[in-house]
Amino acid sequence: MKKNILITGGTGSFGQAFVENEVINNSNYNKIIIFSRDEYKQFLLKKKLSNFKNFNKLRFFIGDVRDKDRLMIALRDVDYVIHAAAIKQIDNAEYNPIEYIKTNIIGAQNLIETSIEKKVEKLIALSTDKASSPINLYGATKLCSDKLFVSANNYAGENIFTVVRYGNVFGSRGSVAEVFNKIKTEDNFTITDKRMTRFSITLNESIDMVNWCLKNSKGGEIFVPKIKSYRILDLVKAFKSNPRIKYIGIRPGEKIHEEMISASESRSTYDLGKFYSIVPESNQKTLKYYKKFKKVFDGFSYSSNNNQFLSVSELKKLINNEITKKQKL
């Protein structure tokens, strides 16, 4: 029997890409519910996909994860949930902390409680590398959100809650690649610090990972992809040869390097080949399943500066595929 799926933040970068992929590529879902608070983006998405055969599978639902009553209505007869709703601008979080707490933490708990009440089978929550050893408020709210979803498996019964943690989605709204693309014709490239490195994942790679997790998650894991990094100066060179660079200093809450697995998480991290899985020690059922996989070494950490780097030519290909070609569509 085909499943019904709901995507919170369904008109964001990931949500739109996931929905488009399902509609264009003959989705196996019975119903796909786009849950978001932006009516204009919903209108644009309807307009973009209205001529496809699978458009009739879509349901557009205006709502906010802060509103528990609205979630209760939206989750009726839903089997799977992808939680992509979040407020995520790092510097804004430092000046508007309570708004980030309301959406990223309280919104997460609302979704957990309503998913249990409505007997949702599986929920995949999208997280960020900012949640590993956070130094900014946004990262702290996402770490707290991750902990809520992981812990929910201890009292949820048959419901399965899982977290996916990955790095910057290349070319997505607000990403450094998108910003550089906008300023590439200006005299100067403005960057904060020349030492910076970042993880890189494409939207299609993130969708593939989430779909894999929907099929394979056991409950309580934090899945981390094995992806490459890039140096910020190499990204600048990929956009413009011999660029003039203006350094403005690190923004509030910003890191030089990002991290997806900290050394303290290594004792419960397993190598699955294509992904890592951080398994909660409190969940004996899930822990038992992962005993067949190899653990990473004690003290292992996975950060953007101790990783394999994308070359300038590889970054140029990414820019062409993830930004230039998509702008022409």
Mean pLDDT over 233-254 rounds to 89
> pLDDT for 29-70, tens place per residue?
999 999 999 999 999 999 999 999 899 999 999 999 999 999
Query: Given this model, what pLDDT does residue 323 score?
Result: 83
> pLDDT for 7-31, tens place per residue?
999 999 999 999 999 999 878 899 9
Please indicate whether residue 328 or residue 192 has the higher confidence score (pLDDT).
192
Residue % of the chain over a pLDDT of 70: 98
Report the candidate in 135, 11, 3, 134 with the shortest Cα–Cα distance to residue 81. Answer: 3
Mean pLDDT over 201-222 rounds to 95
User: Model pTM greater than 0.75?
Assistant: yes
Query: Given this model, what pLDDT does residue 241 score?
Result: 84
Fold entry, domain 64-169+202-225+261-303: Rossmann fold (3.40.50)
Percentage helix, strand, coil for the chain under 3-state DSSP, each rounded to 5: 45, 20, 35
Residue 80 above 80 pLDDT? yes
Residue % of the chain over a pLDDT of 90: 78
Query: What does each C-alpha distance from 216 to 45, 123, 124, 277 come to in angstroms?
Result: 29, 12, 11, 11
Mean pLDDT over 198-209 rounds to 94
Can you tell me the distance from the alpha carbon of 276 to that of 48, in angstroms, rounded to the nearest whole number? 36
> pLDDT for 278-310, tens place per residue?
999 888 889 999 999 999 999 999 999 999 999
Structure confidence at residue 325 as a pLDDT band (50, 70, 90): low
Which sequence spans correspond to the domains of the chain?
64-169+202-225+261-303
Which sign, positive or negative, has the C-alpha torsion 117, 118, 122, 123?
negative
Mean pLDDT over 182-209 rounds to 89
Averaged pLDDT of the chain: 93
Please indicate whether residue 158 or residue 145 has the higher confidence score (pLDDT).
145
Instruction: Report residue 290 as tokens.
Output: 């992962």
Give the catalytic positions in this structure. Answer: 130
Query: Given this model, what pLDDT does residue 23 score?
Result: 93
Query: Given this model, what pLDDT does residue 240 score?
Result: 86
Structure confidence at residue 328 as a pLDDT band (50, 70, 90): low
Please indicate whether residue 205 or residue 190 has the higher confidence score (pLDDT).
205
Please indicate whether residue 278 or residue 241 has the higher confidence score (pLDDT).
278
**Are 75 and 115 in contact, with CB atoms under 8 Å apart?**
yes
